[in-house]
Structure 1
Amino acid sequence: YAESEAQEDFENKMTYIEELLGTGALTMNELAETIKTQQYEISQLKKENALLKTKIVKALSQGFKL
């Protein structure tokens, strides 16, 4: 169910982006820049997540409880 909901949400967003591009409200360069920025932010979040997971594993191995 969650997967089909995510697919529907994605399709709705793609339709909206296509409309923005079609009307000129959004340029391809703006879209590309937005995507690059989001990819960078996702990369940073993945690094932070990995660091936090490492800290949790270390804390658990030292006897701390969650």
Structure 2
Amino acid sequence: MGIAFKISDGGERARPHITLAVLAALGVEITPALRALAPTVHHNWAGRAVGTVDVQLPLAWT
């Protein structure tokens, strides 16, 4: 089995979130240690929360 995804803006910040969503969709248990690899709140250089990342399901299977 192989999995590929494209992030339309070319950024890397969504990659861990998409990876966890795919693993969860495949039935893999997402532990707190894995969840910590993809923080949902993003901070700027000053430490202020500036945005969030959210993966929308269902994933499209082709």
TM over 0.5: no
Q: Which has the higher strand share?
A: 2
TM-score, length of structure 1 as denominator length: 0.27
Q: Which has the higher helix share?
A: 1
Q: Using CA pairs below 8 Å that are at least 6 residues apart, which structure has the higher relative contact order?
A: 2
